[in-house]
Structure 1
């Protein structure tokens, strides 16, 4: 017999799966620009790069935003969900990254709203995005969707960072940097980093959100100027 926690776990896997149509598989977060610059990343270097993303951008900004948005969603406080939305959107300095996050978040809500139709917070937040009163960055949209599906906040954070890691490794595989076995090894080694980062940031207050990885920002900016691209970021 299934329990509510089993259903929530399956919902978490559903949202984290690359089959879920958010378009996240079309992003490399600047990895494509590194590849075409002639930089040949070793397995250990890709691990270190994803670790920097997680610890200096995804954790203190995206994971914190998810945690706050989730808490507000659980209280049906849509106005404060929108406040977190706007703060996180303003913190994404690279236009390509900012726009991609908003597209993926909006698509996350559209798809979730197709089978979760009676959740007030989800409906009102989606309406705010449609009317231009919110932007829909992916971590905030994911928080609202996870709350609607009764996925616990901490598990939502784990799912987000895991999906991000898989996306980065997947982009490296498609660029021909590594083989699948090496990619799986990187993902396995990132698990303690993901857990620690979620534990440190899922309860971070809105006022404490930050991100600082200027070299990554520069690489992502260089991707915007590429004439031909496989990935949108």
Structure 2
């Protein structure tokens, strides 16, 4: 392995590590509500929950926006990045999800500006501060991945892996799975993680879609829980 490929491997590991402070670890994406309501009981239930999110939302909406934002960033076309950001915001119907996407995206942007100084990131940070863009997490992640030197596909992989490990961490904290079961789930999700890029790469922004109604409703009910450990 040459130095360049080793460098990219380190970046991929850094961005996909839950240690990276983007704020996404505070999100359960409806998992907390489903657990408290007794609808998820086992690691198999968590596996199904994650597969539904990955294939019916992440691959067909979040990552589609990420890919188009990455391509815009690669061409130094921030209008394309803004278009991906606006389209994903319009496609995200749940207010709390939009809100948390903005918060985690801006947290990621703040950290990235200090870690990988770049004119695009600086411009986006100013626009986010001034309310000119939403700065949703997948869109900012795309630009950060490009700036840090990751390929388009590896940026998708880092994003998807980070998403899954974040939710598995939430499942552990909610006591619905143990650490060994979480590793078993992650291993079984490997084919699904590999399938995300080919699915998303063929879709235009106006072809984005999602269909996770039970999970969406759980996210809406989250704010009414008697106690909450997560922001969503």
- 1:96 alignment partner in structure 2: 96
Give every structure 1 segment of 4 or more consecutive aligned residues whose post-TM-superposition deviation is greater than 6 Å: none
Gaps of 5+ in 1: none
Tell me what 1:41 maps to.
41
Cα deviation, residue 227, structure 1: 4.0
Query: Is structure 2 residue 21 aligned with structure 1 residue 17?
Result: no
C-alpha deviation, 1:94, in angstroms: 1.3
After TM superposition, the structure 1 stretch with the greater mean CA deviation from structure 2, 62-71 or 83-92, is 83-92
User: In the alignment, which residue of structure 1 is the partner of 2:123?
Assistant: 124
Given that 2:57 and 2:211 are in contact with CA atoms closer than 8 Å, whether structure 1 keeps it comes out as: yes
1:87 aligns with 2:87: yes
User: Quick one: distance in 1 between partners of 2:51 and 2:38?
Assistant: 21
CA contact (8 A) 2:40 2:46 kept: no
CA RMSD of aligned residues (A): 1.4
* 8 Å Cα contact 1:157/1:202 also seen in 2: no
Check conservation: 1:68, 1:203, Cα contact below 8 A. no
Report how far residue 202 of structure 1 moved. Answer: 2.9
User: Counterpart of 2:153?
Assistant: 154
Tell me the TM-score normalised to structure 1 length: 0.95
Q: What are the superposed Cα offsets for residues 30-85 of structure 1, whole Å, 9 maximum, x if unpaired?
A: 11111111234222121111000000110010111110000000011111201110
Q: Could you tell me how far 1:2 is from its partner in structure 2?
A: 5.6
Tell me, yes or no, if the aligned pair for 1:85 and 1:137 is still in contact at 8 Å: yes
Q: Structure 1 residue 203: deviation in Å?
A: 4.1
After superposition, the C-alpha distances for 1:185-221 in whole angstroms (9 at most, x for unaligned) are 0000001001112221134221211112111111110
1:132 Cα shift? 0.6
**Residue in structure 2 matched with residue 143 of structure 1 by the alignment:** 142
User: Are 1:211 and 2:210 counterparts?
Assistant: yes
